Amino acid sequence: MDRRQLKTRSAIFQAFNKLLEKKHFNNITVQEILDEANVGRSTFYAHFETKDALLRELCTDIFDHIFSQELHSESSHDFSSSNHGLKEKITHLLYHMKDNKGNVQGVLSGESGELFMRYFKEYLMKMFEQYPQSIRQDIPREFALNHLVGSLAEAVKWWIADRMEMPPEELADCYLKLIGYDS
């Protein structure tokens, strides 16, 4: 990929992210992104079809990076502990998010959090699908899976809104306790 393209692309992402920290996605205009990124109008549309496409690509970029290890590491199926390595995976995930705090803060926190959740849960779903059902066998798997994913997404959102003050290990512990996966 051309250096010029990479440069503008990252400038747009950065500007967009910065704006997302301050205001809601709906109230951000393309013009504002252009001004913030110092990029021409036609250049923007050469890269992204719409504002929605921009959000989609930003989320894909971020989550592909953050989840890369979690989704492909084989160390996940460690049956020595009862949670099958799930705690380790979640902890890693949280550390990666903390490392990429600058890149994710705008998307995750702020008024547009709901938009990010849609994408975030897609990735979490992929992660959880590898795991066996939790302790409760008397509940439809589809329902339980939805619960696990939704709860973790909510927990992470809460954690970020709280400025990531709780240590990742502690958050993972709390979460696993609440979903009954820790015994």
Contacting residues toward its own copies, per CB under 8 A:
26, 52, 114-115, 117-118, 136, 138-140, 143-144, 146-147, 150-151, 153-155, 158, 166, 174-175, 177-180
Nearer to DNA, 30 or 71 (CB): 30
CB of 61 to DNA, least distance (A): 16
Per partner kind, with CB cut-offs from 5 to 8 A, the member of its own copies, DNA, none near residue 140 is its own copies
Can you give the length of the chain in residues? 183
For the segment 9-68, give every residue that binds DNA (CB under 7 A).
Answer: 9, 29-31, 38-43, 45-47, 49-51
Cα(117)–Cα(63) distance, integer angstroms:
11
85: left (phi over 0), alpha (psi -120 to 50) or beta: left
Per partner kind, with CB cut-offs from 5 to 8 A, the member of its own copies, DNA, none near residue 23 is none
Place of tokens 């809601």: 24
CB of 111 to DNA, least distance (A): 17
Cα(6)–Cα(33) distance, integer angstroms:
16
Q: Give every CB contact of residue 81 below 8 A, 6+ residues apart in sequence.
A: 87
Per partner kind, with CB cut-offs from 5 to 8 A, the member of DNA, its own copies, none near residue 79 is none
CB of 4 to DNA, least distance (A): 4
Nearer to DNA, 48 or 120 (CB): 48
| Own/partner long-range contacts of 56-65 (Cβ < 8 Å, ≥24 apart) | 56/119, 58/13, 58/16, 58/17, 58/107, 59/107, 59/116, 59/119, 59/120, 60/119, 61/13, 62/100, 62/103, 62/104, 62/107, 63/119, 63/120, 63/123, 65/96, 65/100
How many residues make contact with DNA (CB under 7 A)?
Answer: 22
CB of 55 to its own copies, least distance (A): 11
CB of 112 to its own copies, least distance (A): 9
Cα(41)–Cα(75) distance, integer angstroms:
46
Contact positions toward DNA, by CB under 7 A? 2-5, 7-9, 29-31, 38-43, 45-47, 49-51
